[in-house]
Amino acid sequence: MKLPEKTVERLSEYRRTLLDCLNKGKTHIYSHELARLHNNTAVQVRRDLMLIGYSSMKKKGYDAKELIDVIGKLIDHKNGLNVAVIGMGNLGRAITTYFIGKRPKLNIVAAFDVDSNKVNRVISGINCYHVKELKEKIKASNISIAIITSPPEAAASIAETLVMSGIKGILNFTTTPINVPESVFLEEFDMITSIEKVAYFVKDQVKG
Mind listing the pLDDT tens digit for each residue in 59-104?
A: 889 999 999 999 999 999 999 999 999 999 999 999 999 998 888 8
Residue 34: how many CB atoms within 10 A of its CB? 26
Looking at 1.20.1250.20, 3.40.50.720, 3.30.70.1140, 3.30.2420.10, the CATH number of the domain 81-193 comes to: 3.40.50.720
pLDDT at residue number 57:
66
Is the pTM higher than 0.85? The answer reads yes
Burial of 200 (0-12, 13-18, 19+ CB in 10 A): exposed
Residue 136: band (very low, low, confident or very high) from pLDDT cuts 50, 70, 90: very high
pLDDT in tens, 142-166: 999 999 999 999 999 999 999 999 9
Residues paired with residue 146 on neighbouring β-strands, in sequence order: 84, 170
**CATH number attached to the domain at 5-73:** 1.10.10.10
Residue 115: band (very low, low, confident or very high) from pLDDT cuts 50, 70, 90: very high
* Nearest-10 crossing angle of helices 64-75, 5-23: 140
Give the C-alpha separation, 156 to 97, whole Å: 25
| φ, ψ dihedrals at 61, nearest 5° | 100, -170
